[in-house]
Amino acid sequence: MKIQSDICIIGNGVIGKASALALARAGYKVALLAPEIPEKSASAASQPLWDKRVYALNHVAKSLLSSLKVWDAMDVTRIAPVDAMAVQGDDQAHPGSLAFNAYGARVGALAWIVEDSNLNRALDSALSFASGVNFIKGRANQLSHTEQHVQVTLDDGAVLTTSLIIGADGANSWVRAQADTSIDYRSYDQSAVVANFSCTNAHHGVASQWFLGSDGIVALLPLPGQRVSLVWSAPELLANRLLSESPEKLCERLSALPGQTLGQFEMLPPSVPKAFPLRLIRSHSLIASRIALVGDAAHVVHPLAGQGMNLGFADVDALMSVLSQSKQTDCGDARLLNRYARLRAEDVLLMQVTTDGLHRLFSSDLPPVKLLRNVGMRLIDKLPFLKNHLAKQALGHSNSSNTTESFK
């Protein structure tokens, strides 16, 4: 069987689906290659459990999803705005602290906490009405180039011919491997332990974070009601201990966090935390011949700033900007892809350097380093200009020329 499309997207996660929807809305004929064709998602009412995988989506992500009619299709009762952020240092004698709030940043919210399942349901629903998307069931096992096209051979022998391949297939990207793009890889020897909890006191929309030195970084993100989502970036030995001990013991650990104001905790069902390995992956190039990488296929960062998914949405935004504004008929033209790579280079590098540097700084237990980082936090908190600059970086910005306007 022979299949033709303008663009083939490999990877059917959140970023792959958003890419397919945006490109189809822009008028391209899109093939979305997926191991399994997504079925109609169950309603949130039939899935009352809170998803352990949540994202802190910033303004760029919200703007893109709104332009694609996805944001309003999500269950708003399961979305929590982040109105403020409180960061606590690890010097018990003179702990540093840092606070941001939406009022100071002159925005309605710093971010929004969204469950993976809520976002996927809305994307699947939007894609079911997108006439320009062709779902192809199967796996790619060979990629080859002709002068004007690239061909993907599937595991069932079918051949897909397209002008551009978009690799949205995650950290272990098959597309990136076929592009022969070199990467820098480093394991943090940590896992992100995630679980959800109810708490006796209201969180008031505050996302709280504790830097605990050799015990890693704890983040409690607000969920609707008196609920929070835990992301504990823990060294492997501690992560294994957190996964094996009782829910009550983990609740005790959270209750003992210095300065926490949420009271007592109770783990929400199913009362079993999950863990995800943490690593740094830096691709030396986001592009190759008729190939563009987006999301985790292009870059993986430490989650301490909560910006991994936002980087992926900014990739989609920049790529859409380039393709929607171009008068080129060949969407895989090297000049277009080079423009995309230039648009993303600065933001991606800045986030990689920032998150990696913060991890190194806060994972050291050397007394001089501990003193320096806590003094630094207190200093930044007293400098409104610098603090507001950091807040604007977290809110998200795009170098693209307002892609979303073209979809409205």
What pLDDT score does 398 carry? 42
Collapsing DSSP states into helix, strand and coil, what is residue 178? helix
The pLDDT confidence band at residue 365, using thresholds 50, 70 and 90, is: confident
* pLDDT confidence of residue 88: 87
CA angle 343/300/65 to nearest 5° reads 60
With a pLDDT cut of 70, the percent of the chain lying above it is 88
pLDDT in tens, 143-185: 998 878 999 999 999 999 999 999 999 999 999 999 989 999 9
* Amino acid 396: pLDDT: 67
Give the pTM.
Answer: 0.90
Confidence (pLDDT) at 19: 97
Report which of 152, 181, 179 is spatially closest to residue 289, judged by C-alpha positions.
179
- Give the CA radius of gyration of the chain: 22
Say which residue, 328 or 250, is predicted with more confidence. Answer: 250
Token couple for 93: 């004698």
The arithmetic mean of pLDDT across residues 139-143, rounded, is 93
193-210: average pLDDT: 96
CA distances from 246 to 165, 226, 243 (A): 46, 22, 8
- Stronger pLDDT, 142 or 375, i.e. the higher one: 142
Residue 261 contacts residue 201 (beta carbons within 8 Å)? yes
User: Which pLDDT does position 134 carry in this prediction?
Assistant: 93
Strand (E) positions, 262-333?
A: 265-267, 274-283, 287-288, 291-293, 299-300
The predicted pLDDT at position 366 comes to: 76
Q: pLDDT tens across 31-78, in order? A: 999 887 656 555 555 567 899 999 999 999 999 999 999 999 999 999
pLDDT, average across residues 199-216: 94
Thinking of the domain 2-41+49-185+278-407, which architecture would CATH place it in? 3-Layer(bba) Sandwich (3.50)
pLDDT at 403 over 50: no
CA distances 99 to 86, 215, 358, 366, Å, are 5, 22, 17, 25
Count the alpha carbons within 13 Å of 125 in the hemisphere toward its beta carbon. Answer: 19
Output the average pLDDT for the chain: 88
pLDDT over 70 (residue 195): yes
Q: What pLDDT sits at residue 89?
A: 79
pLDDT of residue 146: 83
* Tens-place pLDDT, residues 265-312: 999 998 899 999 999 999 999 999 999 999 999 999 999 888 999 999
